[in-house]
């Protein structure tokens, strides 16, 4: 069946989740509006930070009895930076960021349904029949002080030919090894172009900081580096401005 049965099981799971979507409310305090960057800076308790770090969904900010669509620009253990639509209060003593997973689940269900189409037969075989071509353990050069498991993850990620999953709970160093994978992959595969994506802007920006002086980088999307002149040349908007002036 090339994975059709398995897909139906996952689609059924998505349908159950949509019947009872997981929503959560996270309290933020001491909000200040940064007019230069047009965003808000809030304090967040560590317990709330852990919840927000692990949840993905549609974000809205509740204040004064109204909800405003918002996006997370940066998330740290004690601070969160938000871009909030149609809200320009100088100070907000307390507000709530609401996370709605409904749209995420709907997109996942739609993707699984698309995967059932005949045109994606090869992808289904890759994902469900376990016929991976695999990869080899490559000899790498490390710049970070990694433990043995992290080193093995980099060595196999660089040599993989199909898909390689690195899994670990928060704090196990997944973001730390990404620049190592990029550096070694480019070293072993000339003229490579690599796309680095993440749920959080902070994670992408950490990779940019580690690789900025080594490679040609285009940082696309909201960034915590927009106010840091050291990395200005990496921002897509800045590169676009330079091309327009030529």
CB-based burial of residue 96 (10 Å sphere; 0-12 exposed, 13-18 middle, 19+ buried)? middle
pTM of the model: 0.60
pLDDT for position 133: 57
The model's confidence at residue 131, banded by pLDDT at 50, 70 and 90, is low
Tell me which of 170 and 55 has the higher pLDDT: 55
- The SS3 assignment for 61 reads strand
Which of 93, 98, 74, 82 has the alpha carbon at shortest distance from 34? 82
Domains and CATH numbers, the chain: 23-100 (2.40.30), 133-194 (no CATH), 196-246 (no CATH)
The model's confidence at residue 246, banded by pLDDT at 50, 70 and 90, is low
Q: How far apart are CA 165 and CA 13, in angstroms?
A: 22
């Amino acid at each position: 069946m090339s994975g059709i049965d398995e897909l139906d099981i996952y689609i059924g799971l998505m349908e159950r989740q949509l019947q009872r979507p997981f929503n959560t409310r996270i309290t933020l305090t001491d909000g200040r509006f940064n007019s230069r960057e047009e965003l808000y800076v809030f304090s967040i308790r560590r317990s709330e930070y852990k919840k927000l770090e692990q949840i993905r969904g549609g974000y809205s900010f509740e204040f004064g009895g109204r909800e405003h669509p918002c996006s997370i620009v940066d998330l740290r253990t004690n601070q969160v930076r938000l871009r909030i639509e149609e809200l320009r209060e100088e100070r907000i003593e307390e507000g709530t960021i609401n996370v709605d997973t409904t749209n995420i689940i709907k997109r996942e269900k739609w993707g699984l349904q698309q995967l059932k189409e005949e045109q994606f037969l090869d992808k289904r075989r890759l994902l469900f029949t376990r016929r991976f071509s695999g990869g080899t353990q490559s000899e790498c050069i490390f710049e970070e002080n990694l433990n043995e498991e992290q080193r093995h993850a980099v060595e196999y990620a660089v040599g993989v030919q199909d898909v390689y999953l690195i899994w670990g709970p928060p704090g196990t160093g997944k973001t730390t090894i990404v620049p190592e994978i990029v550096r070694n992959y480019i070293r072993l595969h000339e003229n490579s172009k690599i796309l680095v994506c993440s749920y959080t802007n902070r994670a992408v920006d950490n990779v940019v900081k580690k690789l900025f002086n080594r490679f040609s980088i285009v940082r696309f999307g909201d960034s915590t580096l927009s106010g840091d002149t050291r990395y200005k040349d990496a921002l897509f908007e800045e590169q676009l401005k330079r091309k327009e002036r030529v």
